[in-house]
Amino acid sequence: MKSMTTGEIASLINGNLSGLPDMVISGVNRIESARQGELAFYSDDKFLQYLNDSNASCIIVPKSFERTPAENQCYIYSANPYEDFVAILKFIESTKPQLSPGIHPGAVIGGNCSISELASIGPGAVIGDNCIIGDNVRIYPNAVIYNNVRIGANTVIHSNAVCCFDTEIGQNCIIYPGAVLGSEGFGYLENKTDGSYSRIPQLGNVVLGDDVEVGANTTIDRAIAGSTFIGNGVKLDNLIQIGHNCEIGEHTAIAAQTGISGSVKVGNRNRFGGQVGLAGHLFTADDVTLIAQSGVSKSIAKPGVYFGAPAKEIRKAFRIEAAMRQLPDALSELHNLKKQVRKLEEKG
C-alpha cells in the first residue's frame, strides 16, 4: 500500500487520534499479527490479550476504550472500529494500479462488438462476436468472453474467467479468476434399454443482476431454456455449483462448496453456510439461513434458521443432536436394566 501518516488515516475516518500524527503506516494487518509500521483494529474484548501484546504502530479502538497508547503506538478512537478499518481497506484498494483504458494489442476481439472507449481489455483476453462491453469494464489477461455476451458498466472480469454464449452481466459486478458463467447444465435423457445417456441441448443463458460477485472457480450453468438468474447484490464464494434454470434471490450470500441442483428457486436475503446442498426443483422462502453442511431435500416455506440433513428448524435440529449425543449412555442404562430384570426373573 501507499504509505500514509496516522494523521491522514484519522482524518480519513473522522477518528480522534491519540499519539503522533506523523507516524508512517505502510501496511494493514490483523491485531494478533500486526508489526511496526502497520495498522490494525480492536473492537471485541476477546481480543484484549492481542491488543496488550500487539506490535502494531496504530490501532483503531472504540470511543469508549479507556486506555492511552504505549509510547511507540497511536490509537484512533472510532464509533465503529471494524467498519472504519474496512473503509481504509477500500481506500487502499482504490489507490492500486488498474488496467489502463483501451484494448491491449495482445487481445483478440471478434466482429460487430460494441466496446466502450473507457473499457480496459488486457493481453490474451478473447472477446467473441456481437459482444457489448460497457463503460469502465475491466477484463483481465486471458479471460474468455464468448459470442453475444453483454457486460454492464464498472464490471470486472478477472483472469481465466469464462463467460459462455449469451451471458448477460449487470453493472458493478466482479467475476473472480477461474469462474465459469454459462457452461452447459447437467441435463441428459437416460436410455431405458441399456442405461446410456443422451445429452439435452442447453439453449438458455445466464443472467446476472447488478452488484453481483462470483468467487474463484465457481460455476453457474446455463438454462435448458430461458435463463439461470442471479439477482442483484448476490455474493457467491469460491467453488460453488449452481445448476441450470436456478433463480437466486437478491442479496443472498452463499459460502464455499455449496451445491445447488437444477431449477431451484432461492429466496431473497438467504444465507447459506459452506457445503450446503439443495436437491433439484425446490424453493426457499425469503430470509432463510442454512447452517454449514445442511442438506435440503424438500422446500422451505418459512423464514428462519435451519440445520441438518435433512434440514430442520434450528431448535428442533439441536434437540435431535442433543438427544443423539445421549444415546450411548441411554443404551448403556437400558442394557443394565435388562440385566437387572433378568436377575429378578431368575430369582422369582
- Quick check: 152 and 172 in contact, CB under 8 A? yes
Catalytic residue among 158, 244, 251, 281: 244
The burial class, CB within 10 Å (0-12 / 13-18 / 19+), for 71 is: exposed
Report the first-to-last Cα separation within the chain, whole angstroms. Answer: 86
The burial class, CB within 10 Å (0-12 / 13-18 / 19+), for 271 is: middle
Interior angle at CA 101, CA 98 and CA 102, nearest 5: 135
Cα-flanking dihedrals φ and ψ of residue 331, to 5°?
A: -65, -40
Contacts of 342 (CB under 8 A, 6+ apart): none
In angstroms, the CA 205 to CA 150 distance is 11
Residue 207's Cβ-side half-sphere holds a number of Cα atoms within 13 Å equal to: 15
Instruction: Cell 468467487: give the residue.
Output: 215
What is the grid cell recorded at 204? 438458455
Residue 339's Cβ-side half-sphere holds a number of Cα atoms within 13 Å equal to: 6
Is residue 281 annotated as part of the catalytic site, yes or no? no
In angstroms, the CA 243 to CA 228 distance is 8
Three-state DSSP class for residue 104: coil
What is the grid cell recorded at 195? 442405461
Exposure string over 108-139, b if 16+ CB within 10 A, otherwise e = ebeeebebeeebbbbebbbbbebbbbbebbbb
In angstroms, the CA 114 to CA 270 distance is 36
The burial class, CB within 10 Å (0-12 / 13-18 / 19+), for 208 is: buried
What is the grid cell recorded at 39? 495498522
Q: Is the peptide bond before 105 cis (omega within 30 degrees of 0)?
A: no
State the catalytic residues.
Answer: 244
